[in-house]
């Protein structure tokens, strides 16, 4: 009984498309945390910088070793992080690039914890460690998926344990945050921290938002808002793992983090990572079923036609890549050799013209060739948007 439950919770195979999407959120969050610190290396990492070290996180011998780094080595790690971060973002050698990126993150964290040494950064490192364990996050929305050449890569099933552990991480993050609010320094049940925050100077931790002046004069309301925050954080782990309340909990969690971004000066992780991690509670089978329904819907409508030379090996390879990127089957791919009369598709088409390059016939009957055809397709293929 226990083994069956464990298998159902962690080892059952489900589509990995959710992890592929989550990889993008992790990469963007990491970039927003680390890349800005590279703009002023002299102030942040070189020997001229003011530095603090987290001896509770790293062993002393490692901190001493990193502190001896010459400036050229720091620059090498800057380039190493940038290359590995970009490779992880686009999904090129996704697992290896993630490992190299995380190693670089640990290096800069040990070098100077002053700018990145926050609780949210520690949480992000846990997430990054889980992303290093497997390459499941490269199954779709990645260059790795294009190299594999699987047209139905979005259906690819993997053991569910990584996604489950990420779900547990966000759930326990809420729970332990609430626990700290009543057992750490200060007790939200006995004190009124939100009221104090509202009365901080303008250059403090709060932003100037619409209701700030009103809340500054409402200590009782601030107190009960604080109690509500603690109660919700305690309940979130149960609400998220309960099927009947899961959707409402996802909306509530997203609203919670958007409110944090709008009212407090908090790290980027609260906007880019935590909401995306909440969406990991959506069953990936439901996502794939929705994609399949959209594909069937597209096939029932008049789709733009992409004509290619089926006897050209180069064309066949590129058509496979386009089909992989065409998640919702927006285009109808036709080998012009199998079309009886090209004039029926478009009056300007001929056999000789079709042999020279790809041609796209839009739903409005417009004809595009070569690069213009690919550019028109890119608007409907999210993986090609950077090429616009």
Q: What is the pLDDT of residues 10-54, one digit of tens each?
A: 889 999 999 999 999 999 999 988 998 899 898 889 988 888 888
> Which carries the bigger pLDDT value, residue 40 or residue 384?
40
Is the pLDDT at 388 greater than 50, yes or no?
Answer: no
Tokens of 274: 């935590």
The per-residue pLDDT for 230 is: 94
The per-residue pLDDT for 102 is: 96
| Residue 335, SS3 per DSSP | strand
Q: Judge whether 164 and 158 are in contact, CB under 8 Å.
A: no
The per-residue pLDDT for 240 is: 96
pTM score, whole prediction: 0.88
> Which carries the bigger pLDDT value, residue 3 or residue 274?
274
The per-residue pLDDT for 203 is: 56
Distances (CA, A) of 237 to 50, 59, 145, 253, 278: 39, 32, 33, 11, 11
Strands 305-308 vs 332-335: parallel, antiparallel or unpaired: parallel
Q: Judge whether 263 and 207 are in contact, CB under 8 Å.
A: yes
> Which carries the bigger pLDDT value, residue 210 or residue 300?
210
Identify the CA nearest to 301 among candidates 345, 332, 270: 332
> Which carries the bigger pLDDT value, residue 109 or residue 354?
109
The per-residue pLDDT for 8 is: 80
* Backbone torsions φ then ψ of 306, nearest 5 degrees: -110, 115
* All domains in the chain, ordered by first residue: 11-159 (no CATH), 160-266 (no CATH), 301-387 (3.40.30)
Strands 332-335 vs 367-369: parallel, antiparallel or unpaired: unpaired
Q: For 134-218, where are the alpha helices, taking DSSP H only?
A: 143-148, 161-183, 193-198, 212-215
Q: What is the mean pLDDT of residues 222-234?
A: 93
């Amino acid at each position: 009984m226990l083994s069956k439950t464990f298998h159902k919770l962690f080892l059952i195979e489900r589509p990995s498309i959710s992890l592929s999407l989550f990889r993008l959120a992790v990469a963007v969050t990491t970039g927003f945390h680390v890349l800005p610190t590279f703009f002023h290396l002299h102030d942040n990492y070189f020997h001229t910088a003011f530095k603090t070290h987290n001896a509770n996180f790293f062993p002393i011998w490692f901190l001493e070793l990193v502190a001896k780094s010459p400036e050229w080595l720091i620059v090498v790690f800057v380039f190493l992080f940038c290359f590995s971060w970009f490779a992880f973002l686009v999904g090129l050698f996704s697992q290896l690039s993630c490992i190299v990126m995380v190693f670089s993150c640990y290096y800069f964290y040990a070098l100077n914890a002053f700018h990145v040494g926050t609780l949210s950064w520690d949480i992000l490192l846990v997430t990054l460690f889980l992303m290093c364990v497997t390459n499941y996050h490269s199954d779709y929305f990645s260059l790795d998926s294009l190299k594999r050449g699987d047209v139905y890569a979005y259906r690819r099933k993997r053991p569910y344990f990584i996604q489950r552990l990420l779900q547990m991480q966000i759930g326990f993050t809420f729970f332990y945050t609430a626990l700290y609010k009543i057992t750490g320094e200060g007790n939200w049940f006995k004190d009124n921290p939100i009221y104090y925050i509202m009365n901080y100077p303008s250059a403090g931790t709060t932003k100037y938002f619409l209701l700030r002046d009103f809340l500054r004069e409402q200590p009782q309301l601030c107190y009960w808002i604080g109690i509500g925050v603690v109660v919700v954080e305690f309940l979130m782990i149960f609400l998220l793992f309960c099927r009947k309340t899961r959707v409402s909990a996802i909306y509530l969690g997203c609203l919670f983090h958007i409110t944090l971004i709008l009212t407090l000066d908090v790290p980027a992780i609260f906007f880019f990572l935590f909401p995306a991690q909440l969406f990991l509670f959506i069953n990936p089978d439901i996502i794939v079923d929705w994609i399949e329904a959209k594909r069937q819907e597209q096939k029932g409508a008049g789709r733009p036609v992409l004509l290619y030379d089926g006897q050209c090996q180069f064309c066949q390879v590129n058509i496979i890549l386009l089909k992989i990127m065409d998640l919702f089957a927006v285009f109808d791919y036709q080998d012009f050799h199998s079309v009886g009369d090209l004039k029926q598709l478009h009056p300007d088409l001929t056999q000789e013209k079709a042999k020279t390059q790809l041609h796209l016939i839009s739903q409005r009957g417009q004809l595009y060739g070569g690069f213009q055809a690919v550019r028109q397709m890119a608007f409907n293929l999210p993986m090609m948007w950077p090429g616009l």
